[in-house]
Amino acid sequence: MTANPLNARERVICTYFTHAGDISPFAANTASPIDFHRRAEACAEAGFCGMGFSLDDIHRILGRVSIAEFNATLDRLGLIHRELEVLADWFVDGERRRDSDQQRQQLLRAAADIGARHIKVVGDVTGAIHPMPRIIDEFGQLCTEAAAVGSAITIELYPTSNLADLQTGATVVQGANCANGGLLLDVWHMLRGNISLAAIASLDEGVINHIELDDGPLLPMANYATDTISKRCAPGEGEMPVQNFLAAVAATGYQGLYGVEILSDAFRQMAVEEAATRAFDGTRRVLEKTA
C-alpha cells in the first residue's frame, strides 16, 4: 500500500515537550515556564493543527485562564486537535496505583474540558511482572472511561518498559477490543528498540492510533534515558530513516495524525517560535518526500 497524500497543516500536532521550553520531562512539575498564549500562537504560526499538554501544564494554564478562554484560543488559531500526557501505573497495585488513579481522574476531567483527542499512557519501567489478562482488562476499563468523555487511549511503546514491543502492545489492544484504544509508535523508540520496519508494516489496520516523529543519532551516544530526553532533533535533521518508518506505517493503512516530539537540550533553549517552526518545517519536508 502506498502512502496517501499527507497535508502537514491538517495532520501534524506539536507534542508538549516540543513547545514547552526549558523544562525536563523528569522534573517534579512539568508545567511550561512559557505563557500559554505565546506557545499556542507559535504552534499555529508554524503550521500545526494541534497541541499536546502535560497534566501539570493544564493545571497551571487553567489556574490562570478559564476553560472557555483556553478552548476559544485554540479554536481561533486552528489548533483543533489536543492531546494529554502521560498516565503510568494504570494496571499496578498499591500506593503507585492510588497515585495513578488520582492522575487518571484528573486527566479524564481535563480531556472532557479541552476536548482531548487522546490520552497517552505508558507501561511499567520497574521490571515488575504483570499478568497479561490483567493488563488487557485494565486497558479496556481505561478505554471505556475515556470514551465516556469523548477521548481515546494510546499506549506509547517504550523499550525499557513492560510494554515495549509490537506483539505485546497489539495483544493488549486487540485483547481489549475497544474502538478508542490503540498504540502510539514513536520513530525514536521503534528504531532504538530494534523493532523492524517490516514488523511495523505487518501490523493489522487499526492497531495504531497515533504516530510520533523526531530524529537523532542512529547509534546511542549515552544511556537510553539520557539520549531520549536530550539528543533528539527535528525530522530530517538526524540520521534515522524517518521516511522508511513513515512508509512502513502507511503500509498498515494508518490515516491518522502525526505528533512531533522533540526532547533535546538544544530545543529547550530555543525561543518557542523557533522551536515550533523548525519542528514543523522538518516534519513537512519529510512527509512531502514520503507521500
pLDDT > 70? residue 255: yes
Residues pairing with 51 in the sheet: 14, 82
C-alpha–C-alpha distance, residues 74 and 67, integer Å:
11
**Residue 3 — pLDDT band, cuts 50, 70, 90?**
very low
Per-residue pLDDT for 234 more than 60?
A: yes
- Where does residue 267 fall: left (phi above 0), alpha (psi -120 to 50 degrees), or beta otherwise? alpha
DSSP 233: B
φ and ψ at residue 155, rounded to 5 degrees: -85, 120
pLDDT at position 8, please? 85
What are 13's strand-pairing partners?
Answer: 259
| Greatest C-alpha distance within the chain | 49
| pLDDT at 5 (0 to 100) | 58
* Gap between the Cα atoms of 148 and 152, Å rounded: 10
Mean pLDDT of the chain: 96
DSSP state of 115: T
User: What is the spatial distance between Cα 250 and Cα 11, in angstroms, rounded to a whole number?
Assistant: 14
pLDDT digits (tens, 9 = 90+) for 132-186: 999 999 999 999 999 999 999 999 999 999 999 999 999 999 999 999 999 999 9
Q: What is the CATH number of domain 8-290?
A: 3.20.20.150
Nine-digit cell at 211? 504516530
Under 8 Å CB-to-CB from 140, ≥6 apart: which residues?
A: 175, 176, 177, 178, 181
Specify the pTM.
0.96
